[in-house]
Amino acid sequence: MRLRRLDLNLLIALEALLTECNVSRAAERLHLGQSATSAALGRLREHFDDPLLVQVGRRLEPTAKALALLPKVQQTLALARELVEGPAAFDPATCERTFTVAASDYVIAVLMPLLARVLAEKAPKARLSLRDLPVPREQDVVSEALEYRRCDLVVVPERRCNAGFAQSTLLEDQWCCVAWKGAQAYRGGIGLDQYRNAEHVVRAFADGRSLGMDAMHLNEIGLARNVAIRVESFGLIPEFIVGTERIATLFRRHAEQMAQRYPLALWPAPVDFPQAVQVMQWHPYQDSDPALAWLRGELLGIVASLSK
C-alpha cells in the first residue's frame, strides 16, 4: 500500500534503521539482506529529502529530522500492531525485553536494586539497563533521554519535567545535611552560619555545571555555598567527607543508605528546602505498551512499600 507515493512497508524499515542506527543490525531485525535494507534506506532518504542517517566516524548517527520522525513512526506502528493483533496480554514471566531507564544515581541507588529483585522474581528473562541522566541539550533532560537516547523511562526532579511527555509522581524525599561522625564542629548539628562557611562537596555534571535542585534553590534565595569539591556522582560524596569537616546536602533516603556504609552523621538542613519530588516520564506512544505499564506499576509499588 502506498500513501503519497510512500510504500508504507518502508515505515517498518525506517523504525528498524533509526532504532539500530546500523544497516546490518536493521537487516537482521527485518529478516532482509543488507543490500535490500540499504535500498530501503535510499528510498526513505529520497522520500523525506533527508539523509536520515549520517556517518560520524565509524558509526551512523540520526539526523534531526530522523529523531523527530522516530517517535511518530513508533506510535503509528504500535497502533497498527494493536489494530491487527489486538491488545496482547502481558506475562512478565515470559518477557525477554531490556528495559532502559535514565535516572540520577540517587534514584538508581534507592529504587533500582529493589526493581532488579522484582525482575528476578517476576520477570527473570527481562533485563535492566540503567543510565545516568544525560547532559541535556537546550536544558531539556527528558527529551534528551527519551528521544535522543531512546530510553523507555526517565526519572527527573519535578522542576525538570517536560509537559510534552506522559508523567507520574514517583518519589518524595527531604533534604538533609551530611557530615563525618568524627567532625567535632557539628556535634550539636549544623547551623546556618556553619552551613555558609563550611566547605561543601556537591554533585555536578561532567561539564562542571551543578544543576541539582538544592543548588537551584540556594541560588534563588541568594545563599552562596563554599564549594570545595565537585564530583559527578552522589555516591562519591562520602569519600570526600569522611575524615574532614566538609559537609554535603543530600536526599535523606540516599544519605541513610550511605550512613550504613560510612561513618556519617545526618542533620536537618538549616535551610528551608522544598520537598524533593521525583517524577517518571515516558513517551506518550508507550502509554499502551503493556510491558512498560507493568514496569511503571512495579516502581510505584516499590515506592509505596518504602513509605510503610
Q: Tell me the CATH number at 181.
A: 3.40.190.10
Are residues 228 and 265 located together in one domain of the fold?
yes
Instruction: Give the confidence band of 208 by pLDDT, cuts at 50, 70, 90.
Output: very low
Please check whether residue 281 lies inside any domain of the structure: no
CATH number at residue 25: 1.10.10.10
User: Of 295, 292, 283, 294, nearest to 74 (Cα)?
Assistant: 283
Please check whether residue 144 lies inside any domain of the structure: yes
Instruction: Give the confidence band of 82 by pLDDT, cuts at 50, 70, 90.
Output: low
Q: In angstroms, rounded to a whole number, what is the distance separating the alpha carbons of residues 59 and 55?
A: 6
**Average pLDDT for the chain:** 88
Instruction: Give the confidence band of 199 by pLDDT, cuts at 50, 70, 90.
Output: very high
pLDDT of 244 > 70? The answer is yes
- Using CA atoms, how far residue 44 sits from 17, 24, 66, 69, in Å, is 10, 17, 11, 12
Mean pLDDT of 250-254: 96
User: pLDDT value at position 205?
Assistant: 67
What is the residue type of 1?
M
Domain count, the chain: 3
User: pLDDT value at position 243?
Assistant: 97
User: pLDDT value at position 235?
Assistant: 92
Instruction: Give the confidence band of 3 by pLDDT, cuts at 50, 70, 90.
Output: very low
User: pLDDT value at position 91?
Assistant: 92
Residue 47 belongs to domain spanning: 2-85
User: pLDDT value at position 84?
Assistant: 66
Please check whether residue 96 lies inside any domain of the structure: yes
CB-CB contact of 67 with 148 (8 Å): yes
User: pLDDT value at position 123?
Assistant: 96
User: Of 260, 264, 217, nearest to 237 (Cα)?
Assistant: 264
User: pLDDT value at position 70?
Assistant: 87
Mean pLDDT of 251-263: 96
